[in-house]
C-alpha cells in the first residue's frame, strides 16, 4: 500500500456481512431520540442533571471530533472557548450597567440571548485570530500552542476584576422563553439536548457535502486538495472557528444551568478531558463525541465516589486513572470506541447503499460551472527556462516547453531525471527557482496550485493521493470542487442538495467513462494501485480541465487496462484537451504522443515527434545507455 493515501482500509473490513440489516442508522437515531424524550419526564433528578452535563460536554466534543478526528488539528484549549461563552452571558446578564441598560431597551428576558450573541461574536473573533496565527504551525507546535492560549485565557478570566476574579459571577438568571422558565436541569436539559442533536445533524450534513469532502482532505491530503482548488488554510481556520463556536454555545448553556460561573471549569484539565472524550469516543465519528462524553462523564462520577474511599482524599487520583485508561483505549482501539461498536453492530444496523446515480433530491437539478473548450492548437501551457534547485542538486535545468490544446505531449527520461519535479513547477505545487510558467496566457509565478486548478489545470500524482477510506465517487467529486459553490452554511442546512446531486452525477459519469463504474461506491483504498491511478484521472476530469498532467498513469495497469487508458486519452485529445504525460511504458508513449520531450539529469536533451526522438542518437545514448534495439522493437 502506498504511504500517501493517508488512511488505508482493508477490503475485508469494508465488506458488508451477509443478509439485510434490521435497521438503518437513521432509524436507530430516531429510536434513541424518541426514547430519550419519552423517558425525560420520568428520570430521577440526578440522572437528568448528569444527562444535561453529558449534553454540554458532547457539544464541545462534536467540535473536537470535526477539528481533530476529521480535520487533523489537535486542540487542548477548547475549555477556554466554553469559558468565553459562559462569561460573556454571565457578564451581560449581571453587570449593573450592561444588564440594566440592555434590559431597559430589550426586556430582561432577551438579555441572555444578547449574552449568546456576545459570546459567539467574541469567540468568533478570537478563534479566527488565534487560528490565523497558530494553524500555520504544523506537527507538535499546534497542540502546544493550544495549551498556551488555553492557559492564558484561563488566567485572564481569573484575573479580570469585572469578571469577579477567582470567585466568579453569581446571580445569572435562567433562560425564559415566552414566559416559560428553563431554570431546572429538567427544563434546560431539553434545550441542551435539542441543541446537541441539531448540531449533530448540521455537522453530519456538513461532512456529507462538497465542503465536507474538502474538510476530510485536511487530514493528510492538503497538497492534493489544493490541487483540486481547495483553499486548505482557510478551511482549517473555518473548522477551528466552528469548533470554538460549538464550545461557546455549550458555555452559554452551562452558565444558565449553573447560574454562576468561576474560572475552574474552564482550565486546561477540562480542555484535556474534552479532547479525551472526542478521542475515546472515536475521533472521526460525530456520534463518537456523544459516546465519549457519556463514558467519561459517568466514569468521572464513579471515580469521584470510589477513589477517595480506596486511596484517601488527599490526592487527585482521577487524573492518573484517566491517563492510564486513555493509554489503554488508545492502545486497543486506535480509532476510538465508536468504530468498534459500529463494526460489531453491522449485522443489525447498516446503511442500505443508495442506488447508483440516484442522489438525494435528484428531482431538482443544478448546473455545474462549465469551461469553454479552447480551440485546437491554442497555446495552453508554456514553461520558459524553468530551473529548480534542491540545495546543490539541480533537479530541473532551464527547461522550456509548450503544451497546446488537442495534443498529447510526453515527458520521458530515466528515474530521477526531474519529471515529477517539473510537474510540480507547472502545477503550482512548488515554485521554480528561476524561470516562468504561463497557463492560458497568464504568468503564474508565486501562485498557489489552486490558482492553476481554477484556470483549468487538472493533474494526477505519481504517488497516488486519495482519501483511502472514502468511496471512489466521493474522491472523484472532490475534483469538481471548483465547479460548484455552495458553502458551509448551505451544506449544514441541506440547501445544497440539488448541487450535490449534480456533483455526484458528474463524478459517476467520469468514473463510468474511466471504466471503474463497478467500483464507484467502494472505498478507494480497496482498489488496486493501478485502479487508484485511474481514479485520480477521473478526479482530474471531474474538474473539466483543459490541461491534463498525468504522472505515470499506466504504471501498475494490466495490458487491456493500458489500452483502455490509451483510448480514453486519445478521445480526450480529440475533445481538445492538452495532455502532458510522464510515462515509462515506451509502447504506450510512442503510440499515443504527438510530441515527446526527453529529460536527462534535469536537462532537455531532445524534443520532437516519436519518430524523431527514437532516431535521435543522443536519446539512444543517454536514455537507453546505447541499448536501442529494445525500445525500438517495443514501440513497433
Ligand atoms: P523523476 O520524476 O524524473 O523520476 P524527480 O523529479 O522525482 O524525478 O526527482 C529529480 C531529482 O530531484 C531526484 O534526484 C530527486 O532525488 C530530487 N528531488 C525531488 N524532490 C526533491 C525534494 N523535495 N528535495 C530534494 N530533492 C528532491
Ligand atoms: Mg517521477
One domain, residues 104 and 158: yes
One domain, residues 343 and 444: no
Among 347, 369, 396, residue at a domain's last position: 347
CA atoms within 13 A on the CB side of 460: 30
Calculate how far, in angstroms, residue 418's C-alpha sits from the geometric centre of ligand 1: 6
Q: Say yes or no: CB of residue 415 within 6 Å of ligand 1.
A: yes
Q: What percent of the chain has pLDDT over 90?
A: 61
Q: Say yes or no: CB of residue 417 within 6 Å of ligand 1.
A: yes
How would you classify the pairing of strands 603-608 and 595-600?
A: antiparallel
DSSP states of 398-428: EEEEEEETTEEEEEE-STTSSHHHHHHHHTT
List pLDDT tens digits, range 248-272.
999 999 999 999 999 989 988 899 8
**pLDDT confidence of 511, banded at 50, 70, 90?**
very high
Report the nearest atom of ligand 1 relative to the CA of 599. Answer: 3
Q: Which residues surround ligand 2, an ion (CB under 5 A)?
A: 419-420, 462
Question: Which residues are within 8 A (CB) of 228 and not within 5 positions of it... i.e. 6 or more apart?
Answer: 217, 450, 453, 478, 479, 481, 482, 539, 543
> What's residue 473's pLDDT?
96
pTM attached to this predicted model: 0.90
In a domain, 35, yes or no: no
User: 476510538: which residue's cell?
Assistant: 336
One domain, residues 397 and 337: no
- Whether the pLDDT of residue 10 is over 50: the answer is no
- Whether the pLDDT of residue 507 is over 60: the answer is yes
List pLDDT tens digits, range 419-441.
999 999 999 999 999 999 999 99
One domain, residues 327 and 416: no
Q: What percent of the chain has pLDDT over 70?
A: 92
List pLDDT tens digits, range 196-238.
999 999 999 999 999 999 999 999 899 999 999 999 999 999 9
One domain, residues 301 and 389: no
**Which residue has a Cα nearest atom 19 of ligand 1?**
421
Q: Say yes or no: CB of residue 402 within 6 Å of ligand 1.
A: no
**pLDDT confidence of 456, banded at 50, 70, 90?**
very high
- Whether the pLDDT of residue 316 is over 80: the answer is no
- Whether the pLDDT of residue 357 is over 60: the answer is no
Identify any residues that bridge with 411 across adjacent strands, giving them in sequence order: 582, 597
Ligand lying closest to the C-alpha of residue 555: 2
In a domain, 186, yes or no: yes
Q: Which three cell numbers stand for residue 477?
A: 467529486
One domain, residues 330 and 458: no
- Whether the pLDDT of residue 632 is over 70: the answer is no
How would you classify the pairing of strands 547-551 and 393-404?
A: unpaired
- Whether the pLDDT of residue 500 is over 90: the answer is yes
List pLDDT tens digits, range 85-144.
999 999 999 888 877 777 777 777 888 999 999 999 999 999 999 999 888 877 788 888
Label residue 377 left, alpha or beta by phi (over 0 means left) and psi (-120 to 50 means alpha). left
Mean pLDDT check: name the lowest of 83-87, 157-161, 288-292, 538-542. Answer: 157-161
**Which residue has a Cα nearest atom 27 of ligand 1?**
390
What is the average pLDDT value for the chain, to the nearest integer? Answer: 87
Q: Cα 344 vs. chain centroid, distance in angstroms?
A: 26
Q: Say yes or no: CB of residue 419 within 6 Å of ligand 1.
A: yes
In a domain, 511, yes or no: yes
One domain, residues 209 and 301: yes
Residue 237 to residues 43, 212, 242, 529, 632, Cα–Cα distance (Å): 41, 14, 9, 33, 54
Report the nearest atom of ligand 1 relative to the CA of 421. Answer: 6
One domain, residues 385 and 343: no
Mutation to probe ligand 1, out of 421, 422, 583 (largest number of atoms < 8 A from CB): 421
- C-alpha closest to that of 286 among 202, 192, 191: 202
In a domain, 23, yes or no: no
List pLDDT tens digits, range 164-193.
888 889 989 999 888 888 988 899 999 999
In a domain, 366, yes or no: no
Report the nearest atom of ligand 1 relative to the CA of 417. Answer: 3
One domain, residues 389 and 470: yes
One domain, residues 288 and 392: no
Q: How many residues does the chain have?
A: 636
List pLDDT tens digits, range 34-43.
999 999 989 9
> What's residue 177's pLDDT?
86
Report the nearest atom of ligand 1 relative to the CA of 388. Answer: 12
Question: Which residues are within 8 A (CB) of 26 and not within 5 positions of it... i.e. 6 or more apart?
Answer: none
In a domain, 369, yes or no: no
**What DSSP state is assigned to residue 486?**
-
In a domain, 11, yes or no: no
Residue 87 to residues 32, 273, 311, Cα–Cα distance (Å): 33, 20, 35
Among 347, 365, 394, residue at a domain's last position: 347
In a domain, 73, yes or no: yes
**CATH classification at residue 68:** 1.10.3470
One domain, residues 289 and 415: no
Look up the domain containing 609 and give its range: 379-635
One domain, residues 322 and 386: no
Tell me how many degrees the CA angle 187-65-61 measures, rounded to the nearest 5: 30
**pLDDT confidence of 60, banded at 50, 70, 90?**
very high
Mutation to probe ligand 1, out of 386, 388, 395 (largest number of atoms < 8 A from CB): 395
- Whether the pLDDT of residue 14 is over 70: the answer is no
Total count of domains within the chain: 2
Amino acid at each position: 500500500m502506498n504511504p500517501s493515501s493517508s488512511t488505508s482500509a482493508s477490503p475485508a473490513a469494508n465488506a458488508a456481512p451477509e443478509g439485510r440489516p434490521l435497521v438503518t442508522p437513521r432509524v436507530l437515531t430516531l429510536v434513541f431520540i424518541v426514547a430519550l424524550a419519552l423517558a425525560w419526564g420520568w428520570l430521577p433528578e440526578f440522572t437528568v442533571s448528569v444527562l444535561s452535563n453529558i449534553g454540554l460536554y458532547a457539544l464541545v466534543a462534536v467540535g473536537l471530533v470535526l477539528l481533530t478526528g476529521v480535520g487533523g488539528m489537535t486542540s487542548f484549549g477548547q475549555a477556554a472557548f466554553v469559558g468565553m461563552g459562559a462569561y460573556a452571558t454571565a457578564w451581560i446578564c449581571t453587570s449593573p450597567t450592561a444588564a440594566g441598560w440592555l434590559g431597559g431597551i430589550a426586556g430582561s428576558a432577551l438579555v441572555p440571548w444578547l449574552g449568546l450573541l456576545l459570546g459567539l461574536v467574541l469567540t468568533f473573533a478570537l478563534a479566527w485570530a488565534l487560528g490565523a496565527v497558530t494553524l500555520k504551525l504544523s506537527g507538535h507546535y499546534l497542540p502546544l500552542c493550544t495549551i498556551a492560549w488555553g492557559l492564558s485565557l484561563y488566567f485572564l478570566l481569573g484575573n479580570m476584576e469585572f469578571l469577579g476574579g477567582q470567585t466568579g459571577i453569581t446571580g445569572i438568571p435562567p433562560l425564559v422563553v415566552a414566559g416559560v422558565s428553563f431554570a431546572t436541569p429538567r427544563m434546560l436539559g431539553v434545550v441542551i439536548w435539542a441543541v446537541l442533536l441539531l448540531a449533530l445533524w448540521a455537522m453530519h450534513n456538513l461532512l456529507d457535502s462538497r465542503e465536507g469532502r474538502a474538510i476530510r482532505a485536511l487530514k493528510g491530503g492538503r497538497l492534493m486538495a489544493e490541487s483540486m482548488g481547495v483553499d486548505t488554510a482557510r478551511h482549517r481556520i473555518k473548522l477551528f472557528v466552528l469548533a470554538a463556536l460549538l464550545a461557546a454555545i455549550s458555555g452559554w448553556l452551562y452558565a444558565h444551568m449553573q447560574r454562576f460561573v468561576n474560572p475552574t471549569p474552564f482550565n486546561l484539565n477540562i480542555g484535556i478531558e474534552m479532547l479525551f472524550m472526542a478521542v475515546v469516543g472515536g475521533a472521526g465519528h460525530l456520534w463518537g463525541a456523544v459516546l465519549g462524553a457519556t463514558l467519561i462523564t459517568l466514569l468521572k462520577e464513579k471515580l469521584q465516589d470510589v477513589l477517595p474511599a480506596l486511596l484517601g482524599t488527599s490526592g487527585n487520583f482521577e487524573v492518573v486513572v484517566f491517563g492510564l485508561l486513555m493509554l489503554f483505549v488508545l492502545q486497543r482501539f486506535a480509532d476510538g470506541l465508536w468504530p468498534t461498536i459500529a463494526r460489531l453492530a453491522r449485522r443489525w444496523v447498516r446503511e442500505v447503499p443508495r442506488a447508483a446515480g440516484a442522489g438525494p433530491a435528484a428531482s431538482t437539478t443544478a448546473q455545474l460551472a462549465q469551461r469553454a473548450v479552447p480551440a485546437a492548437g491554442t497555446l495552453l501551457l508554456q514553461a520558459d527556462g524553468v530551473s529548480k534547485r534542491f540545495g546543490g542538486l539541480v533537479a530541473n535545468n532551464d527547461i522550456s516547453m509548450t503544451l497546446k490544446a488537442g495534443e498529447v505531449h510526453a515527458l520521458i527520461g530515466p528515474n530521477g531525471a526531474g519529471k515529477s519535479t517539473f510537474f510540480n513547477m507547472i502545477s503550482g505545487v512548488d515554485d521554480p527557482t528561476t524561470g516562468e510558467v504561463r497557463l492560458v496566457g497568464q504568468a503564474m509565478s508565486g501562485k498557489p496550485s489552486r490558482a492553476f486548478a481554477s484556470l483549468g489545470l487538472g493533474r494526477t500524482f505519481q504517488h497516488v493521493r486519495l482519501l483511502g477510506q472514502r468511496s471512489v465517487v466521493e474522491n472523484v467529486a472532490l475534483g469538481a470542487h471548483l465547479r460548484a459553490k455552495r458553502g458551509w452554511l448551505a451544506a449544514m442546512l441541506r440547501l445544497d442538495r440539488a448541487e450535490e446531486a449534480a456533483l455526484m452525477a458528474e463524478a459517476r459519469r467520469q468514473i463510468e467513462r474511466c471504466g471503474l463504474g463497478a467500483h464507484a461506491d467502494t472505498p478507494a483504498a480497496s482498489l488496486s494501485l493501478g485502479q487508484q491511478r485511474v481514479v485520480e484521472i477521473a478526479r482530474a476530469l471531474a474538474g473539466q480541465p483543459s490541461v491534463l498532467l498525468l504522472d505515470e498513469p499506466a504504471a501498475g495497469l494490466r495490458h487491456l487496462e493500458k489500452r483502455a487508458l490509451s483510448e480514453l486519452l486519445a478521445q480526450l485529445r480529440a475533445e481538445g484537451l492538452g495532455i502532458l504525460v510522464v510515462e515509462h511504458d515506451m509502447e504506450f508513449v510512442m503510440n499515443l504522443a504527438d510530441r515527446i520531450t526527453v529529460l536527462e539529469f534535469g536537462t532537455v536533451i531532445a524534443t520532437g515527434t516519436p519518430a524523431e526522438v527514437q532516431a535521435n542518437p543522443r536519446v539512444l545514448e543517454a536514455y537507453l545507455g546505447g541499448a536501442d534495439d529494445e525500445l525500438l522493437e517495443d514501440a513497433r
